[in-house]
Amino acid sequence: MSNPTQTRAPAQVDVRGPRFVAWVTTGVLVVALLVSAQSPALAAIILGAQAVVFAVGAVAGPRRHPYGLVFASLVAPRLGPVTEREPVAPLKFAQLVGFVFAVAGSLGFAGGLIPLGLTATALALVAALLNAAFGICLGCQLYPLITRLTPTR
């Protein structure tokens, strides 16, 4: 039986998974931006679908994230052993931030507010590309600040 006063280590995942997710997300956001020039309505649908993916990641975490499942089943088995891990909580927060931008972009495109759609999508794209290419997760960087500002019970 475990000691109830012990603190559990935070859940962690292989850093390569979130970077794979960021590459796929980058591709989806690029497609949304390119499509928006011809069909803002289709861009809204693409971003709406990405918002659902972000929501799953924010609620269920990286292990249940749709792109994370692809990584775990198709990519990870072909890679070497895990050498670096990162905590789950900041990743879930980053997915929540992505969700907010994807919803804003989707609503912008759907509502005819094209500058809003473009701006929100472009900001999400910058964040995804920074994570994919350089391992810089902006949402993860914001997470400690948000947790310090959030009152505890």
User: Tens digit of pLDDT for each residue in 20-57?
Assistant: 999 999 999 999 999 999 999 999 999 999 999 999 99
Cα separation of 117 and 45, whole Å?
12
The DSSP letter of residue 71 is I
Q: Which residue has the higher pLDDT, 10 or 130?
A: 130
Mean pLDDT of 131-140: 91
Q: Does 4 fall in a domain?
A: no
The count of domains in the chain is 1
Q: Which residue has the tokens 């993860």?
A: 140
Nearest-CA neighbor of 75 among 129, 18, 131?
Answer: 18
pLDDT of residue 13: 83
Question: Mapping DSSP to helix (H, G, I), strand (E, B) and coil, where does residue 57 land?
Answer: helix
Q: Does 71 fall in a domain?
A: yes
pLDDT over threshold 70, residue 5:
no
Mean pLDDT of 101-117: 97
| Run of H or E residues at 122 | helix 114-134
pLDDT of residue 146: 86
User: Tens digit of pLDDT for each residue in 52-100?
Assistant: 999 999 999 988 999 998 988 999 889 888 888 888 889 999 999 999 9
Cα separation of 150 and 60, whole Å?
21
Buried residues in 101-121 as b, exposed as e (16+ CB within 10 A): bbbbbbbbbbeebeebbbebb
